[in-house]
Structure 1
Amino acid sequence: MLELQSLSIDQYGFIGNVFSFGLAVMASTTLFLWLMMSSAAPTYRMAITISGLVTAIAAYHYLQIMLSWDGAASVASGEVVVSGEGFNRAYRYVDWLLTVPLLLVELILVMKLSKAETLSRSIRLGGAAALMIVLGYPGEVAGNVGTRAIFWILSMIPFIYIVRELVIGLKESISKQPDNVKGLISKAAILVVASWAFYPIVYLLPLLGVTGGSAIVVVETGYTIADIMAKAVFGLLIFVIAIRKSEAEADVNAVEAAPAEQASPVKKGS
């Protein structure tokens, strides 16, 4: 377990600024998504609503993380003094338990699959994501390397399943999407995989013997960057996909509703 007393004053302040930046990004993204939601067709507004909900939940938890960080230690006499309250790392896992399944659901919703496929994929991917988070938490708070290693291995099982589904399982469904969003949806799936790759890597640091103030900086900064990419950037990508699909469908509807120019000739009266 990483100890706060090993932090220098600069490291302590830097992590506080990282949390503040995370809060600002999540809050501003939430406002943008919800205020601009009406720009998309009604079919895709649920996906945008969930995207904003994800960043709103994250913003709340980053506020709590900041408050816990400020309460866990303070700067006095030129050094970081631990208060004894402890830094609550559970806030991240509560956040991930709520937001990670929703991330996958918003991707499924914006693809506008059949009701049966939407429900099936949402349950399977959302359930696997929740299981991944639940299995990761005991190792995060464990005081010994062995326990951390065991739960890292266990949490990687649903993680690998999710990666497989995003990279391979959705390939056929993505191929059926409009041409103007196929690439974006593929990039959204890749973004999820790439940003989530931060978590198991950062999780491994204590197993590799990386400790001290530098380790705390890497862990908290790495988690925050991964959160921003997986929630805020991903949410904005979902918004762009929804807008493009809305525009494409509006164009199709306009063509279908337009009066036929080649109307049958009007018969003249006798």
Structure 2
Amino acid sequence: MTNLMIIPGLIAKLLPTDYVGFTFFVGCMAMMAASAFFFLSLNQFDKKWRTSVLVSGLITFIAAVHYFYMKEYWAEIGESPTFFRYVDWILTVPLMCVEFYLILKVAGAKTDLLWKMIALSLVMLVTGYVGETIDRPNAWIWGLVSGIAYFVIVYEIWLGKASKLAQAAGGNVLASHKILCWFVLVGWAIYPLGYMLGTDGWYTGLIGKGSVDVAYNIADAINKIGFGLVIYNLASKSQTN
């Protein structure tokens, strides 16, 4: 069944009951609004925090553009826009990892932490894409590799070098770091769950199959905008200290 109505001479219109399409639309608007907020607030921060807030704006702006295309794809095709979603993630998730490095620079974070986090995020995403689209018969293997990369990121920020740097920085940096850690541990958990629901493997008999586009869209908005707001709050508090 199609998810759209065709209006002669105009564009396709999402049906009022198309909740997936609605979340794509709201996600696009929310990300764009967040981008405008972060970009327009840049001048109130000094150079030390301006880059962090700029990256927050870039994350939500990139997501807003992709959500616009995902909304159109869903309306026209009626299928989950897996390709566009992974293109979005391959750009925005490494940038979210960069945020950890940027806020921990005050405690002496080195570029090796930056590249380690970026590399792990890319492994997580590339293997996830291969398992979900290219080599679906072996999806569980690719999902396992992706999951290992995810848990290494979790370990790094909760117990590894990033955690130790946050402890050394203390104060607002430590508090913000902990909030970002919870975003990764809890907020990002929807993505491996969605992967398992959308592919076949040993886990299918346990959790079944289904579409999680609505959950993906809501989680994306919360994670990306939430990340940015944590950074904005940290930058604002640091300005007054």
Please state which band the TM-score falls in when normalised by the shorter chain: 0.7 to 0.9
Given that 1:131 and 1:155 are in contact with CA atoms closer than 8 Å, whether structure 2 keeps it comes out as yes
Per the alignment, residue 68 of structure 1 pairs with 73
Give the secondary structure class of the aligned counterpart of 1:125.
helix
Per the alignment, residue 152 of structure 2 pairs with 161
- 1:119-170 CA-partner distances (Å, limit 9, x unpaired): 11110001110111000002222585x4221211111121111010011112
2:166 paired residue among 133, 149, 174: 174
Per the alignment, residue 100 of structure 1 pairs with 93
| Partner Cα separation in structure 2 for residue 11 and residue 157 of structure 1 | 40
Query: Aligned-pair distance for 1:180?
Result: 3.6
| Partner Cα separation in structure 2 for residue 102 and residue 12 of structure 1 | 34
The structure whose Rg is larger is: 1
How many residues matched? Answer: 225
2:124 paired residue among 132, 142, 146: 132
User: Could you tell me the TM-score, scaled by structure 2's length?
Assistant: 0.85
Q: In structure 1, what residue type is equivalent to 2:157? A: L
User: Could you tell me the TM-score, scaled by structure 1's length?
Assistant: 0.76
Given that 1:181 and 1:244 are in contact with CA atoms closer than 8 Å, whether structure 2 keeps it comes out as no
| Partner Cα separation in structure 1 for residue 50 and residue 172 of structure 2 | 19
2:187 paired residue among 152, 172, 195: 195
Given that 2:107 and 2:169 are in contact with CA atoms closer than 8 Å, whether structure 1 keeps it comes out as no
Segment of structure 1 superposing worse, 191-200 or 86-95 = 86-95
Query: Aligned-pair distance for 1:68?
Result: 0.6
Give the secondary structure class of the aligned counterpart of 2:169.
coil
Q: What percentage of residue pairs aligned between the two structures are identical?
A: 29
1:59 equivalent in alignment to 2:64: yes
CA gap of 1:143–1:165, structure 2 versus 1, over 3 A, is closer
Report the RMSD for the aligned CA atoms in angstroms. 2.4
**1:249-260 paired onto structure 2 within 5 Å:** none
Gaps of 5+ in 2: 4-13
